[in-house]
Amino acid sequence: MDEIKVFSKSKEEREKIIKFAKENGYQFSVNHYSSKDYEEFLEEILGDVKDEDIDSQHDRWIEYLQDNLEFPFKAVTESMEEYVNCFIKLDADILHSETKLDNALKSVDPVVSIKSISGCDDMRGIIVEAKSGRKTRHYPLCTIEAVDYESENWELVHNYGVWLSGADMY
């Protein structure tokens, strides 16, 4: 398979490339950053901020993400809070009926709509505001994953999580 690497700061640019590839019968995959690209990406965000200056690094991340994430976007969260709350509300009768239990669990939507960046916490990093039904919740950005795996939002959220964890990406 001929591979077209899609790497762009602009979602519009990436969509044009994907559209062109599809229209012209190219087989392609959307790759994530190579090690070099990731280092360049971090350099673009963090610039000359010192490694030990975590507050300034987070300020740069917040500024970059506010400029580049496309809000709102759909995401799933690692939090099991919704499921725990669902079980707390269940009475004993429902727990004994598999059908009633399945229906109750289906009423809990694990997909949330991320509305904005709401702040930063020393222990959990960047915090985002999410809507689930009529409820507003706040999650650490590193605990969510954008549903659209081909979107720039997915890459940005993923790369922030990798950076925050201190893990080597490659």
Q: What is the 3-state secondary structure (H, E, C) of 23-90?
A: HCCCCCCCCCCCHHHHHHHHHHHHCCCCCCCHHHHHHHHHHHHHHHCCCCEEEEECCCHHHHHHHHHC
Instruction: List, for residues 148-170, the tens digit of each pLDDT value.
Output: 877 889 889 988 988 998 854 44
Residue numbers of the chain with a pLDDT score lower than 70: 1-15, 17-18, 21, 26-36, 78-109, 167-170
- For residue 108, what pLDDT is reported? 56
- For residue 69, what pLDDT is reported? 96
Task: List, in sequence order, every residue forming a beta bridge with 119; answer none if it has no partner.
Answer: 127
- For residue 106, what pLDDT is reported? 56
Q: Which two tokens stand for residue 57?
A: 């690094």
Q: Which two tokens stand for residue 146?
A: 């954008």
Is the model's pTM score more than 0.75? no
What are the domain boundaries of the chain? Answer: 32-165
- For residue 169, what pLDDT is reported? 43
Q: Which two tokens stand for residue 169?
A: 């990406």
- For residue 88, what pLDDT is reported? 46
Q: Rounded to whole angstroms, how far apart are CA atoms 80 and 62?
A: 26
- For residue 8, what pLDDT is reported? 46
